[in-house]
Amino acid sequence: MIAGFPWLSLSILFPIAGAFVVPFIPDRGEGKQVRWFALVIALITFLITVGAYLNGYDPQLEGLQLAERVDWLPGLGLAWAVGADGLSMPLILLTSFITALAVLAAWPVTFKPKLFFFLMLAMDGGQIAVFAVQDMLLFFLAWELELLPVYLLLAIWGGKKRQYAATKFIIYTAGSSLFILLVALAMGFFGGETPNFEYTHLAQQSFGGGFQLLCYSGLLIAFGVKLPIVPLHTWLPDAHGEATAPVHMLLAGILLKMGGYALLRFNAQLLPEAHAQFAPLLIILGVVNIIYAALTSFAQRNLKRKIAYSSISHMGFVLIGIGSFSTLGTSGAMLQMISHGLIGASLFFLVGATYDRTHTLQLDEMGGVGQKMRIMFALWTVCALASLALPGMSGFVSELMVFAGLVTDEAYTLPFRVVIASLAAVGVILTPIYLLSMLREIFFGKENNELVAQTSLVDAEPREVYIIACLLVPIIGIGLYPRLMTDSYSASIEALVSRDVVAMERVTRAKPKNVGNSAITSATVLTPLIKEQASNIT
């Protein structure tokens, strides 16, 4: 049943329908008409998602809103169920916003433009569906829908090793997504009754501890590939190394966030008792992500791969926030996903714009272009400062929230918190070193006379400045006044953390001796603070 205007269904189906119109647009082969059509469709989709937020979404409510449900295959238990809460609404807005800018970034594409923009619009609808659907089997279908467009965008418009990168991407992501299907079937058929895959139904089921652990493990692998979690990350540097700028923006701005969202939605929300036992492992994996990827980024001489490893490092803060049992830390993880989506998209767009001028990605072959590309240098500097978490930028607020949430989270022992915070700080120290040294090498390094003499070495165009400006407005806005974003999901995060705290209490009572000594968990018995939170809920 659909009550009210079907905002979310329209935001999913409209860009997909627009994609199927693309082949019939009269065009001489240069893509001029096609790109305008795709931009209009992407902008309308963004306006639809904004309309959904303004007209049907109340950020003060924690439950499902904008709900739409139509029975699709009743015998299989599959329904068209969409809706939004604080976990999904901000990411729906982020998806439509980044995609619209990615379409504008694809303006120079002239090779098979109809197919390119068809895939871009199809991805727009598929990615919004990942965040909006409220049925686990439907979620799996939406998750699979975006794989084929990314594969084709890499395989056709990528660099010299595009076939290798695209094949590696599809093997990793399609192979890991089988775990989603298996877990969805197991949870949907749990109890032996008519299958039901809707989130609201699954959240009410009393899954056994062993069953939860098994499902959690499978989902952690599936979503860990997309996040990505070390050592499941190796597809990402290859994909970024061969992708074009618009595809970069979608990969960094949206695809990685699908993994973080899914960990919150399924692992933390639907499997709380298993999450109580796996949470310390997430924190440890987050620290590994931060340090390993930061060190690897430091050693990269390829510009795309350097920024790609930087993205992996920043996603480590998302893992730490998800693993915490504090509202502040989990809220920081959510804000980090949004912040990195904006910052990552801006950096990779600038990588593409710089490559278009220099025709090289090797830092050793760049240098001395700062005098000819002053505006480009200014854009690079501002976006790099945002990435290294300069105060006043969104990255600073999100990482600070994760740190503060972890340090004050008394579900873990004090030594554990001190060690984790100290190790994570290493990544924070390394980030400005490799980013600022990267800027120095590109713009003020050893001068490449052949490169500087090129007439094609022009400064930033108005279109490029506009794209970066659109991304910097929310980056700086959130940095100066974080409540612009945190208020949109705080109620849902508080409810999620409260549910996990109660689950932690149950696990602690059941296995009090193992909580501090298990190889998987390092959490201690609930402190009076968390006991007080749990008692307030019950």
CA distances from 309 to 202, 224, 290, 343 (A): 36, 15, 9, 14
Give the range among 191-195, 367-371, 496-500 with minimum mean pLDDT: 191-195
What percent of the chain lies above the pLDDT cut of 90? 69
- For the stretch 198-212, pLDDT in tens is 999 898 888 888 999
In a domain, 2, yes or no: no
Confidence grade of residue 453 (pLDDT, cut at 50, 70, 90): low
3-state secondary structure of 135: strand
3-state secondary structure of 460: coil
CA distances from 63 to 86, 220, 383, 493 (A): 8, 25, 35, 11
- The pLDDT, as a whole number, for residue 521 is 39
> How far is C-alpha 342 from the geometric centre of its chain's CA atoms?
10
d(CA 118, CA 149): 9
Residue 55 has φ and ψ, to the nearest 5°, of: -105, -20
- The pLDDT, as a whole number, for residue 43 is 97
Confidence grade of residue 364 (pLDDT, cut at 50, 70, 90): confident
Name the residue among 203, 237, 27 with its Cα closest to residue 112.
27
Confidence grade of residue 517 (pLDDT, cut at 50, 70, 90): very low
d(CA 104, CA 100): 7
- For the stretch 261-287, pLDDT in tens is 999 999 999 999 999 999 999 999 999
d(CA 213, CA 276): 10
For 239, which DSSP code?
Answer: H
How large is the average pLDDT for residues 371-384? Answer: 91
- The pLDDT, as a whole number, for residue 459 is 85
Peptide bond into 231 cis (omega under 30): yes
In a domain, 469, yes or no: yes
The answer on pLDDT for 530 being more than 80 is no
Between 526 and 80, the higher pLDDT residue: 80
In a domain, 1, yes or no: no
How large is the average pLDDT for residues 519-527? Answer: 36
Calculate the average pLDDT of the chain: 88
**Model-level pTM?**
0.91
Q: Domain containing 158: what range?
A: 7-537
Residue 228 near residue 235, CB atoms below 8 Å: yes
Confidence grade of residue 460 (pLDDT, cut at 50, 70, 90): confident
3-state secondary structure of 261: helix
What percent of the chain lies above the pLDDT cut of 70? 92
Cα pseudo-dihedral 159, 241, 181, 335, rounded to 10? -140
The answer on pLDDT for 527 being more than 50 is no
- For the stretch 412-434, pLDDT in tens is 899 999 999 999 998 889 999 99
Residue 70: its H or E element: strand 65-73
How large is the average pLDDT for residues 143-165? Answer: 91
In a domain, 55, yes or no: yes
Residue 210 near residue 116, CB atoms below 8 Å: no
How large is the average pLDDT for residues 54-63? Answer: 90
In a domain, 300, yes or no: yes
The answer on pLDDT for 487 being more than 90 is yes
In a domain, 189, yes or no: yes
Beta bridge partners of 421: none
Name the E strands within 177-285.
Answer: none
In a domain, 317, yes or no: yes
Token pair recorded at residue 5? 């205007």
Domain count, the chain: 1
Torsional class of 367: left (φ above 0), alpha (ψ -120 to 50), beta (otherwise) = left
